[in-house]
Amino acid sequence: MKQITSIQIQLEKTLTIRETLGLHMIEKQSDCNLYVLYDHKKVCLKDLSKLVVFSLTIKKNKPMTIIVEGSDPSTVVVGIKKLLEPVSSTEPIQIV
């Protein structure tokens, strides 16, 4: 059974290419689908070119939400938190 979990992230700095590529790699290496919601726009983390362009529009001190859908999203959420820890503060939101 698939579960959906989201994590709201308040960026304290802008995303670097390292974090953007890291998000893409987490999506590729997991069996989960990952999406970013920001300013009424949604981007799938599978599409690297759209993700890079999208990351350039993200400003600091504005919340974004990462949605993780899959059989075990909790391990993916932990990886995202570790990756984005230097640039953000996070608040997990559970959606079932």
Contact 61/11 with Cβ under 8 angstroms? yes
**H helices, E strands: number in the chain:** 3, 5
CATH superfamily assigned to domain 3-95:
HPr-like (3.30.1340.10)
- Return the closest-CA partner of residue 93 out of 23, 1, 9, 16: 9
Phi then psi dihedrals of residue 25, to 5 deg: -70, -40
Domain boundary assignment for the chain: 3-95
The pLDDT score that the predictor gives to residue 10 is 87
Rounded CA-CA distance 7/95 in Å is 10
Record the tokens describing residue 21, joined without a space.
């590529």
pLDDT tens for 35-78 read 999 989 999 999 999 999 998 888 888 888 999 999 889 999 99
pLDDT band at 20 (very low <50, low <70, confident <90, very high): very high
Does residue 92 register a pLDDT over 60?
no
